[in-house]
Amino acid sequence: MPLVIRKTLMHVEETLIEGNKKAKTPLILIAAVAVIKNPWVNLLKENVFIDDLKPGILDVAPELGEILTAMIVKEAGSGDKVEAYGKSAVVGLKGEIEHASGIIHTLRFGNFYREAVGAKSYLSFCNTRGGANAPIMIPLMDKNDVGRRSHYLTIHLSVPDAPADDEIVVALGASIGGRPHHRIGDRYQDLKDLGHDVDNPASV
């Protein structure tokens, strides 16, 4: 089934004051969202289980990844300006979590974004199921440094009329900047303090 997009939307927020203190550099969070038809749900055919999801993934994920990436880059001004990134999908109530996962957990979806922003880190993610206006949580992480805690962020939004039972809401997220007043250190300092190795943080 080819990609069917009911609508797209952009979410942009800018934090100027945090903790009663003006941010030295405002934090900008961007989300590009698409409401799509679930390629594996047909409301006219109840209780249908599809074993092979790959044809639907190939039909939908590459084109959708390219569209959402272009939306993010346009809003940010360039891929280089994106510092942290992530992805999320919320499947409607007639779908499976596996359907949400199938769209976003494939290199055919995510590689457009990685290449556009010059990233090395994996895309942090969230995949859930819900009805219209369900929370959409997009966890973010520094695009090149997974231990940089200043860029552990979450974009939180919703779409009032989506997902319908036979839809999936798919989103990419980005930050320009990190948390204002970041002061909890980073993962590497913790490892040093604990005497643990970066490659074996739990010392097991």
Distance, in Å, from the CA atom of 180 to the CA atom of 21, rounded to the nearest integer, reads: 9
Q: How many CB atoms neighbour CB 56 within 10 A?
A: 19
Domain covering 5-194, topology: 60s Ribosomal Protein L30; Chain: A; (3.30.1330)
At 39, list the tokens: 């390629």
8 A C-beta contact, residue 92 and residue 131? yes
User: How sure is the predictor about 196, in pLDDT bands with cuts at 50, 70 and 90?
Assistant: confident
Instruction: Return the pLDDT at 43.
Output: 78
| Eight-class DSSP state of 159 | B
The structural domains of the chain, with segments of one domain joined by +, span 5-194
The model's pTM:
0.94
pLDDT tens across 115-134, in order?
999 999 999 999 999 999 99
Give the tens place of pLDDT for each residue, 38-62: 999 987 787 789 999 999 999 999 9
For residue 12, the tally of other CB atoms under 10 A from its CB is 13
Give residue 138's pLDDT. 98
Q: Which pLDDT band, with edges at 50, 70 and 90, does 202 fall under?
A: low
Mean pLDDT of the chain: 95
